[in-house]
Amino acid sequence: MPLDRRDFLKFAGLGALAAGAGARATPQAGAAAAIPLAGRADHTLRIARSLVELAPDHIVSTTTYNGGVPGPLLRLREGQRVTVDVHNDTDVPEQLHWHGQSVPADVDGAAEEGTPYIPPHGMRRLGFVPGPAGFRFYHTHVRAGSDLTRGQYSGQVGPVYIEPRHEPGAYDREVFLTLKEFDPFFSQGGDMAMDFLRPDAVDPALKARGERTMQASLARGDRRGYEVGYQAFAINGRMLGHGEPIRVKVGERVLFHVLNGSATEIRSLALPGHVFTVLALDGNPVPRPAEVPVLWLGTAERISAVVEMRRPGVWVLGDLADDDRAHGMGIVVEYAGQRGAPRWEAPPPFGWDYRRFAQPGAKAAPPDEVIAMTFAKQNAADGGFNRWTINGQAFDMRAGTPHFRLAHGRRYRLRMHNASDDIHPIHLHRHTFEIASLAGQPTAGVRKDVAMLGGYQTMEVDFTADQPGLSLFHCHMQLHMDFGFMALFDCA
């Protein structure tokens, strides 16, 4: 993280503040409190309301890390202990979650697991050993509910790169891209486009069940539950055409680390006339790097892909949705010596299939135990919002249910049935899982921490319970997790 003189003075002042006046810098109970507050932390993040200039005529007010969106790229080293000071300059409690890392529950950043809040106008010093290596990120982890200024609807998202022992491939240069939306609003209705996921076979029983429930609700006169839309989109905090272009040279190999930092949206990304060679998904090297014309990312998913620059011009690297691109979702790629208006060309239709990056024919080893889960939607059942259930239960913070007990060291398979027509980017905290099947098709070797479960489909993922304490499981869409789509795994 680059430090200017002003930052340095701020850091220098902090030690005195923590040792003396104390009240504003409140160390929390638990293991993190054992970390001495004297001296500088390796990294400092400040949560505060700020103005973000997406374009000269489009300035938004949102909560950020260190005044911008995305927050600073944190480069950490696998296995090398790090300290991070997180200051909360807002009036509300905050949580900062280390997405994709296996860190203790009191550092992980989820109140449901028991992580202490970062108090309003207070701070927490966190200490942890980063891992696993690869592309991770950090983001807020509070409930937003109907408040579109909070949680992931805000600008609180930033990339983390944990230096691996071996880089997954040869490249000339790395570019981090954080995709984010702004100016959220509620709407009713609007079905999510989902025809890009492969395999695309739906389960007739799940479909019948989902449609029956929906029709019963509409027959009772219910409206459709709220969805969230956005008026502005940005890559690295700038709307298409308003940031610095990515400047490239012919023959250069650029490694893109793409993060979908959206609260609720699935994103696509294409660069006309170029192909992506996907090396890693969610920061984990894939068994079989493969070329694709389009990247698709559910909320919180990351893709690391190399593009060989072989088609001189000025291009739009952007979302396939014309409307989202028109509202900012893209960034210009400019070859040296080329000029003119950036060009966009829609790529041919392309299905996104995680199995493309697996070894063909591979089968996951049998697990020790299978946990079956069914996800269902109760249309508009919670004050106009859809309520989400796992095996019939919406998440209850006080009771800590649904709740699944795990035995340390055992290998579990989550068999997840989606009785709704929405795609759910399913996430498990503090663990990496392996996709074992998609819509009934077995696969193995693709390791992730978020995976999209298609509408009326079944997906199986395997993981070893190797993290003591509570681990949160949820759909990563803020609108779904806030209204029931969460559960706790408890590892003794």
- For Cu ion, the binding residues (CB under 5 A) are 424, 475, 477, 480
- DSSP class of residue 214 equals H
Name every residue whose Cβ is closer than 8 Å to that of residue 216 and which is 6 or more positions away in sequence.
Answer: none
Q: Which is nearer to Cu ion, 146 or 338 (CB)?
A: 146
Q: Which is nearer to ligand C2O, 99 or 327 (CB)?
A: 99
Q: Which is nearer to ligand C2O, 87 or 476 (CB)?
A: 476
Q: Which does 424 bind (CB under 5 to 8 A by kind): ligand C2O, Cu ion, none?
A: Cu ion
Q: Which is nearer to ligand C2O, 97 or 257 (CB)?
A: 97
Q: Is 58 in the site for ligand C2O (CB under 6 A)?
A: no
Q: Is 300 in the site for ligand C2O (CB under 6 A)?
A: yes
Q: Which does 46 bind (CB under 5 to 8 A by kind): Cu ion, ligand C2O, none?
A: none
| Chain position carrying tokens 């509070």 | 142
Q: Is 424 in the site for ligand C2O (CB under 6 A)?
A: no
Number of residues that bind ligand C2O (CB under 6 A): 11
CA 181 from centre of chain: 13
Q: Which is nearer to ligand C2O, 295 or 486 (CB)?
A: 486
**Which structure tokens are listed for 91?**
């009036």
328 contacts 239 by C-beta, under 8 angstroms: yes
457 contacts 206 by C-beta, under 8 angstroms: yes
Q: Is 263 in the site for ligand C2O (CB under 6 A)?
A: no
Name the E strands within 189-326: 226-235, 246-248, 253-260, 267-269, 276-281, 284-292, 295-297, 302-308, 314-318
Q: Is 474 in the site for ligand C2O (CB under 6 A)?
A: yes
Q: Which is nearer to Cu ion, 257 or 427 (CB)?
A: 427
Q: Is 476 in the site for ligand C2O (CB under 6 A)?
A: yes
118 contacts 80 by C-beta, under 8 angstroms: no
Calpha distance 112→397 (Å, rounded): 7
Q: Which is nearer to Cu ion, 284 or 418 (CB)?
A: 418
Identify the residue among 125, 139, 327, 387 touching ligand C2O (CB under 6 A).
139
Give the three-state DSSP class for 303.
strand
Taken as a whole, the chain contains a residue count of: 492
Q: Strand 433-438 vs strand 486-491: parallel, antiparallel, or unpaired? A: unpaired
Of 31-39, 157-165, 417-425, 471-479, the window that binds ligand C2O (rule: CB under 6 A) is 471-479
Identify the residue among 150, 327, 429, 480 touching ligand C2O (CB under 6 A).
429
Q: How far is the CB of 465 from ligand C2O (least distance, A)?
A: 17
Q: Which does 429 bind (CB under 5 to 8 A by kind): ligand C2O, Cu ion, none?
A: ligand C2O
Q: How far is the CB of 473 from ligand C2O (least distance, A)?
A: 9
Identify the residue among 46, 58, 99, 387 touching ligand C2O (CB under 6 A).
99
Residue type, 400: G
Calpha distance 185→208 (Å, rounded): 31
Give the three-state DSSP class for 324.
helix
Of 186-194, 397-405, 451-459, 470-478, the window that binds ligand C2O (rule: CB under 6 A) is 470-478
Q: Which of 472, 365, 379, 477 lies closest to 410 in space, CA to CA?
A: 365
> For the chain, how are helix, strand and coil distributed in percent, rounded to 5?
10, 45, 45
The site for ligand C2O (CB under 6 A) is made up of 97, 99, 110, 139, 141, 300, 427, 429, 472, 474, 476
